[in-house]
Structure 1
Amino acid sequence: MDRVGDGDFVRVRVLDGTYEGAVLSCHRPTQQLTMQRVKDVETGRMHARMTFHWTEITKIEVLERANKEMPCATKETSSKEGVPVAASPVKTPPSKQASHSRRRSGGATTTTGSVHYDLVKTKEKFEKMVACVRQFKIIGLGLEGINLGKAGMVTIIQISCSVQTYIVDFQAIGRYCFEHAAFVDMLQSDQYLKVIHDSRNVSAALFNFKIRLENVFDTQVADFVIRRNTHKKVPRFISGLGDCLMRYLKMTEEQVDFHKYAHQCLKSNFKVWSIRPISVELLDAAAKDVLYLPALHQAMMKAHFSDFTRGFQVYLEAGRSVSRPKCSSGVMPQLKDLYSFECCCEQKDC
C-alpha cells in the first residue's frame, strides 16, 4: 500500500461505508487517521472531520498526493502493527497518557495528546451530540460517578462513535440528559449496538432513571466466553478493560496506563468524578475508556468467529484445488483435521 501523508486526498473503505477527504493527520502511536472535509461516498453527506482507527479500515487509496509526503507507517509496521490494506482489518493500540491539552476558541473540543473529544456542558451541545451519534449504529458507552449503581450518582457520561468521542458533564446538564427523548430511545433501541465494558453498574444506574438498556455488547462477557471456548474450560477470573485491550488489540501495558490512572484516582478518592473542574488527566482517561470500545468489539467478534472462518477457508481452498472433491454429506478430512487441533488448546491456561 502506498504511504499516506498529511494533505493527501484519499478514499477510505471501512466496514460501514466509503469516505473521501483530505488527510489532516496520520498518527502512528495511536494508529489513527484523521481526515477533514470528508464526503460519504454512498450518501453524499459532508463531515467537517472524521477519525478512523486502523482496525476499522479495510482499504485506503491515495487519489491525489500533496506536495510533501509524510509516511503513515514504515515497512517494519506494515505486517505486525497493521497498515490498512484491502480485506485485512488491523489492530488499534492507543497512545500513552496525554502530556498536554488545548481547547479551541468558541467551543469545547479538546485535544489531550492525540485524543480528540468534546466536553459537553450545555443542553445545546448535548442536543448536537445526540444528533451526531444517532447517525452511527455502533457506539461505545460508559458512565462514571460516585458509587455508580443502584444507590450511586452519575456525574459523567462517555460516548464514542466513528466521528468523535464525547464526555458529557452530567453535573452541569442534569436529568435533562435522561429525559431527552432521542437519547433515551438510542439507549433502549435495538437499532443501536452499545459497546460497554462491564455493563452491570451502567445498567443499574440508568434503571434509576427508568431506562432499560437494550442491544448491548459487553466486552467483559465476550472475553469470558471467548476464553472459555478457546481453552475448553471456564476461566477463573474476569478481565478488566486494560487486559482486554492488550489481549485483543495487542496494546502494551504502558499503553493502557490511562485505565490504571483512573482506578488509582478513584481508589484514593471515591468522589473524584464529582470534583470540578475535572483534571486533564481524568478527562483523557474518561475519553479513552470508551474510545477503543468499537474497535474492541470488532476484534472480539473476529476472535469469536475465528473457528468458523478457518473452516470456511478449507471449503474455499477445496473448491479452488485442481482435484476438486465431489460434494457429499460426509465431513471432509481436512475439516476434521482442522478442528481436531482445538484439543491442543485445552492444555493452555485461561
Structure 2
Amino acid sequence: MALSGEHFGALLGRTVKVTLKCGVFQGVLQHVNPDRSLLLRAVRNLETGRSTPGVKMFFGREIVNVELLDEPDSGKGTAMLSECTSAVEGNKQADTGPADCGPWSSPCVSLESQLRASNSLKYSLSGNKKEEENVEYTVVDCFQQKFGPAVLHLKQQCVVSIAGEGVNLCRHGRLSWLEIATKSRIFLFDIFLLGPQAFKNGLQMVLEDKNILKVMHDCRWISDCFFHQYGVLLFNVFDTQVADALQFSMATGGFLPHRVCTLQECLMQHLKIPSKSDAIMKCRQQMASENPDIWFLRPFPPSLLKALALKAMYLLLLHSSLMDNLMSDLTAVVHGYLNAYRTASGDHLGSTKPTCMKLPEELRQLADIQKLRREKAIKDYRMNEDGLLIRPAMELKERSDPQKDGNYGDDGDCFPNK
C-alpha cells in the first residue's frame, strides 16, 4: 500500500533518516513513489559524513527503516512513516545474502550521475582547505603557446561554465577576466592584456557554438557586454539564477520568489558551501573592496586568481545539482511509468490498447503534488502584495554601496549603474 497524498503532503520537505541494507543516509524528502522508493535531496552519508548535492533515489527493496528527524519529540511523524517502514520490514528476512554494495549497484543512485558517469567532474567539494588551495588553473595572457591549445580544448566540450570580472559589466563597462571551466580544466583568460583579438581568434567561436552548453549566473549583463563590445551573440546558455527561480517555483507548486539569488546564495543553498569558509566571495570581496580597480592590476594577486578558478569550478557543480532538482519530478513519474504494468497483475493487459491516449494515473499525480506543494508553501512563506513568496534572507555581508566594494562580477552580487 503506497503512501497516501495526505502523508506525502505532511512529509514533503522534512528531514528523514533512511537505513539501508548497506548504509545510513539523511536527507530532505522530495518525493515518494508508489513502490515506496524515495527521492531525497541534500543527502548525507551518516557513516562517512560525506554530503552529496542534488537529488538521490533510494529503492524500496533496499530500505530497512525510515525515521523522521526534524520532530524528535513527536510521535506523529513516526506514525506517518509507519506504512513505509512496515512495508520494508520484510526486506530483512527476504535478504538471505550480503547486499551488493558495489559502485555500480549502490541503492543510493545519483539521478544525473547515471548519465554522466564517464564525464564526472574532477573536483572535490569536501570543504577541505588543502584541496581548495590545490585547485589547478591555467592563466592565458598571451597568444603564444597557451591560447591556441585552450581554445582547441574548449571547442571539444559539450558543457562549460563561464564567468566574467571587471567594472560595470555591460556595454558601458570594462571586462578584465573571463573564466571558463570544463570537466577537467579551468582557463582564466586575461582580456585586459589579450584585448578584443581574443574573441576574434577563437573565443567568439566557442561562445556562439550552439552545441556547447554555457553555464552562467545572471547572463544579462555579460551578454550585453559581449554583444555590444565584441560582437558576440551567446547561444545555448544554462543560467543558474533562472534555474534556481524555476526550482523554487516547482518546490512551491508554481509560486515565484520575490527576488532572485546571488551566486553565493545559490552555492550555499544547493551545494551547502558555508558563507564563512566560502573561498570565492571571501577573497573577492576582501581584496576588491580595498581597490575597485584591482581587476586591472598586473601582476594579478594569486589569491584572486584562485578565487576566479573556484568560481568557474563551482558553477559547473551548481549546474549539476540544479539539473538533479529540476529533473526530479520527471524522474519520479517515469519511474512510476516503468512499474505501472510490470509490478501489477497482468489480467487486464489483454484488453488494454497500446494506443490508448487517456491520461495515466501516474501523470494525474502531478496535479495533486503541485496542489500539496502550494498549500505547504502558503504556510511556510509570507507573501508580498504582488503575490510573490518572500524568501528568507541568508547570512550574507550587506553591501549598501556597490561602488565602494568594487565587486563587479557577473554573478549577481551587485548590478551595474544604469
What TM-score, normalized to structure 1? 0.67
Q: How many Å apart are 1:84 and its aligned residue?
A: 10
Give a deviation string over 1:327-350, Cα, whole Å, max 9, x none: 554444455346413322223334
Residues 1:343 and 2:371 aligned together: yes
1:258 aligns with 2:280: yes
CA distance in 1, matches of 2:47, 2:126: 20
* 2:98 matches 1:76: no
Deviation, 1:247, is 2.4
- Unpaired runs of 5+ residues, structure 1, are 1-72, 100-110
Matched, 1:320 2:360: no
Q: Alignment partner for residue 125 of structure 2, among 58, 74, 94?
A: 94
- Quickly say closer, same or farther: Cα 1:204–1:294, change in 2 above 3 A: same
**Do the aligned partners of 1:159 and 1:166 also contact (CA within 8 Å) in 2?**
yes
Q: Cα 1:173–1:332, aligned 2, differ >3 Å: closer, same or farther?
A: closer
Match of 1:280 in 2: 302
When residues 74 and 280 of structure 1 are mapped into structure 2, their CA distance, relative to the original with a 3 A threshold, is farther
Counterpart Cα distance in 1 of 2:128 and 2:361: 50
Q: Summarize the alignment of residues 167-316 of structure 1 with structure 2, pairs less than 5 Å apart.
A: 167-180=188-201, 182-207=202-227, 208-231=229-252, 232-316=254-338
Q: Quote the offset at 1:79 in angstroms.
A: 7.6
Match of 1:292, SS state, is helix
Deviation of 1:75 (Å): 4.7
Structure 2's unaligned 5+ residue stretches are: 1-44, 57-100, 114-120, 382-390, 392-418
Within 2, Cα distance between the matches of 1:274 and 1:94?
A: 30
| Residues 277-286 or 262-271, more deviating | 262-271
Q: Distance in 2 between matches of 1:95 and 1:315?
A: 36
* Structure ranking higher on relative contact order (CA contacts 8 Å, 6+ apart): 2
Structure 1 pair 172–218 and aligned structure 2 pair: CA distance change class (3 A)? same
Q: Is the 8 A contact 2:176 2:191 kept in 1?
A: yes
Deviations 1:234-285 (A, max 9, x none): 1111111122123223333345342243134334432121112222221111
Does the CA contact (< 8 Å) of 2:154 and 2:206 recur in 1?
A: no
Task: Choose from 136, 150, 158 the match for 1:116.
Answer: 136
> Which SS does the other structure have where 2:136 is aligned?
strand
1:115 match: secondary structure: coil
Secondary structure of the structure 1 residue equivalent to 2:195: helix
How do 1:26-175 and structure 2 match up within 5 A? Answer: 75-77=47-49, 85-86=103-104, 88=110, 89=112, 94=125, 113-124=133-144, 125-175=146-196
The answer to whether the 8 A contact 1:97-1:258 is kept is no
Residues matched between the structures, number:
266
Specify whether residues 329 and 243 from structure 1 end up closer, same or farther in structure 2 by C-alpha distance, changes over 3 A only: same
**What's the CA shift string for 1:154-197, capped at 9, x where partnerless?**
111101001210111222222221221x3211111211111111
Give the letter for the 1:229 counterpart.
Answer: M
Whichever residue aligns with residue 157 of structure 2, its letter is F
Q: Which amino acid aligns with 2:164?
A: L
Aligned mates of 2:132, 2:362 — CA distance in 1 = 51
1:167 match: secondary structure = strand
Q: Give the strand-richer structure, 1 or 2.
A: 1
Q: Percent identity?
A: 26
CA distance in structure 1 between the aligned counterparts of 2:318 and 2:200, rounded to whole angstroms: 30
User: What's 2:62 paired with?
Assistant: none
Greater C-alpha Rg: 2
Moved more, 290-299 or 336-345: 336-345
Q: Which amino acid aligns with 1:123?
A: F
Does the 8 Å CA contact 1:93/1:251 hold for their aligned counterparts? no
